[in-house]
Structure 1
């Protein structure tokens, strides 16, 4: 069975980067993994802190996608590791959602985003599903830690 998620609703809504599961990373509190991920596009600039401080993940995403902001030059090389770091920290911080992730055992996890062909599977299922792959990697790491 494949586990599909997209919104913050439902049994697997906690897999979404918009889920309200904050964590501390780099010495500050991040309201969601989306806040952290988007802010890292502008690490070391005032843009990063502005993104961290907005209330909603939706606003953090919008700000992070604003190409009037100066995107860091190495973004394409580091974005997967940044996402991996955020997702790992989120699930290490919250025991309740860690249990949900671990309970998926060896099922495939897919971000069922109709718009995103990189992080999700895309409208036609041909996307790379990087977020799903990272969730499965994090699940494996957490499983090793709990054995």
Structure 2
């Protein structure tokens, strides 16, 4: 069976990068995984900070898609690892998310993003679904070594 997610307003919306689950990386708090992912596209620390501090993930995404500011040269090589870092940090920071993730069992997780053939499944399901793959990797990690609840 497959579990599809996309909108934060629907079932499993917590898996979306727009879902409001803050986490800390390198001493900085990011309101969503979208904020972190978009900020990491840029070598310019001031622009990173502008993205991190923006009020919504939609604005963070818009700023991250801008090409008025130069993105890092190695972006295509590192973007999957950056997403993996964001997703892992988000789930490790929230036990309720860990529980929800583990409740999905062995189901295939698919980002049902019609227009995204890299991170999602795309309109016809032929997309690479990298966000879903990363979520399933994190689920496996949680199963293998559950974080200690303090």
TM-score (norm: length of structure 2):
0.95
Trace 1:1-147 onto structure 2 (pairs within 5 A): 1-146=1-146
Following TM superposition, where does structure 1 have runs of at least 4 consecutive aligned residues deviating by more than 3 angstroms? none
How far is the alpha carbon of 1:46 from its aligned partner? Answer: 1.0
The alpha carbon displacement at 1:9 in A equals: 1.5
- Whether the 8 Å CA contact 2:120–2:131 is kept in 1: the answer is yes
> What secondary structure is seen at the aligned counterpart in 1 of 2:105?
coil
Following TM superposition, by how much is the alpha carbon of 1:81 offset from its aligned partner in structure 2, in angstroms? 0.3
| Alignment gaps of 5+ in structure 2 | none
Counting matched residue pairs gives 147
The 8 Å contact of residues 22 and 90 in structure 2, kept in 1 or not, is answered as: yes
| Long gaps (5+) in structure 1 | none
State the secondary structure of the residue aligned to 1:42: coil
CA displacement, residues 68-120 of structure 1 (integer Å, 9 cap, x when unaligned): 11100000000000000000010000011111011101100000000100000
In the superposition, the TM-score normalised over structure 1's length comes to 0.97
| Aligned counterparts of 1:137 and 1:50: Cα–Cα separation in 2 | 30
CA distance in 1, matches of 2:10, 2:94: 17
- 1:27-63: CA deviations, max 9, x gaps? 1000000000000001452110000000000000000
